[in-house]
Amino acid sequence: MNNSNENDTVTSMLSKSSLENKSFDTLKAEFYKDQGNQYFKDLKYSKAIESYTLAIENNPNESSYYGNRSFAYLKSEFYGYALSDADKSIELDPKYVKGYYRRASANLALGKFKLALKDYEFVVKTRPNDKDALQKLKECEKICKKIAFQRAIAIDDSLLNKSAWDQIDIEALRISNTEADYTGPKFDSNKITIEFVMELMEHYKQQKVLHKKYAYEILFQIHETLKKTPTLVEIDVASNKKFTICGDIHGQFYDLLNIFKINGIPGEQNGYLFNGDFVDRGSFSVEVIFTLFGLKLVYPDCFFLARGNHESLNMNQMYGFEGEVKSKYSPQMFNIFTEIFNLLPLCHLINSKVLVMHGGLFSKDDVTLQDIRSVNRNRQPPEEGLMCDLMWSDPQYTDGRSSSKRGVGIQFGPDITKKFLEKNSLDYIIRSHEVKQEGYEIMHDGKCITVFSAPNYCDTMGNKGAFINIKGDDLTPKFISYEAVDHPKIKPMAYANSFSLFGLS
């Protein structure tokens, strides 16, 4: 919209009395705020952000505009930006209660629970009759006490080094006869076959649960497999074979089935790489992860799994996977998943020319493939360094580096990508980590590709999913986009922490 038409539109929507009492810039700001609110209600968060930004440009001293944009950033998972806007809203108006809500939510998403607790305490003190704020305060206190307890017991080295497997008698489970009434998929002699995995997918499709005997056996075997897997896995794709790279799945099991329907079941002639964020958000994460682990065990040399930022303890506690595992199995099993996720490789190198990681590139120059190989991945992700960047960073359109919109990792420009590729003799990188309207996006002169495979993310975003096909003799990516399919009436985040991040005010 040009300035003339824009001003006419604003003027036509405002009364003459309003014009007499407010500057035109202030009126324009109110118009854009209202426009942003409507976009927000329509779940068009990127459009809402644009409108709130225009409101701020016309009136940079109104705290609520920053508060509203912070909320839209939260919905877009741009927690770093959300935190910055919340801080600004409070700076402009220290009594702006929604600003404290927004800041608490951003800090929660970043795992900064003590800072979130401080803001909820302020809200409750300011609004003692606000039941929602009181509930959030109590939930946040529980989280902080739980963390403090875990740190206290970790002082004992024997507890610190104790594996979750020490609580499970896998041999007893192997000979257990407790599944007498179980009619689901089974395997003999601890040998997992493609027939078993196909039966398992059908079993899950009917919303049935895999018996714990077989679930623990899969976890035991995948744990043993991943212990032997390097941090950077090298994949050789033969010239006559198709290979597929998928992005985030986020517990959307029925969309995972649709990928296999469109692109074929994995096999020796149909290799796959799933590039992290298998779990959380969607409420069928258990079904997704056991299916992927089963396929990895059947086809260890042509089916690959990378770690995403949601294969981590903080994310799983906040976004549903912990609650889902505890609901369908037990707390002990969730602890085992945490150990297994620590062993997932961080990236994959295809035919020595294409590097695939979940997040992106690095906060410093001159990183080599050998540097990546040397990363100690068997831990929770740190807040900085190579491991953090591989799991959290995002590309930007402008050259250079900037602070992350997420509050973790960095944003890197086309010049950073070019330097990294040249130093390591690579053609391009593939990463995931971000919702894209068509399921993919090509950036940095074709050298940085994003693929995201969870269509209509969280049942709200309206995006397509996508995957990438390549062949060994032609590494040119071919993109296949697809729509979401129906799933049982279980909402995303059904197992998430009762502490809703976004029901703020």
CB 367 within 8 A of CB 420: yes
- In our burial notation (b when 16+ CB lie closer than 10 A, e otherwise), range 483-496 reads ebeebeeeebbebb
**Which residue carries 């909402």 as its tokens?**
491
The Cα–Cα gap between 434 and 418 comes to 21
The Cα–Cα gap between 321 and 337 comes to 10
Closest by CA position to 457, among listed 432, 427, 422: 432
Identify residue 256 by its one-letter amino acid code. Answer: L
**Which residue carries 């360094």 as its tokens?**
385
* Partners of residue 395 on adjacent β-strands: 412
The Cα–Cα gap between 147 and 141 comes to 10
Say which DSSP state 459 is in: G
The Cα–Cα gap between 405 and 77 comes to 8
- Total residues belonging to the chain: 505
Phi, psi of 418 (to 5 degrees): -60, -45
Is 203 in the active site?
Answer: no
* Partners of residue 471 on adjacent β-strands: 242, 474
CB 344 within 8 A of CB 306: yes
> Catalytic pick from 211, 310, 358, 444?
310
Ordered alpha helix ranges (H), 241-306 = 253-263, 285-298
Please identify every residue annotated as catalytic. 310
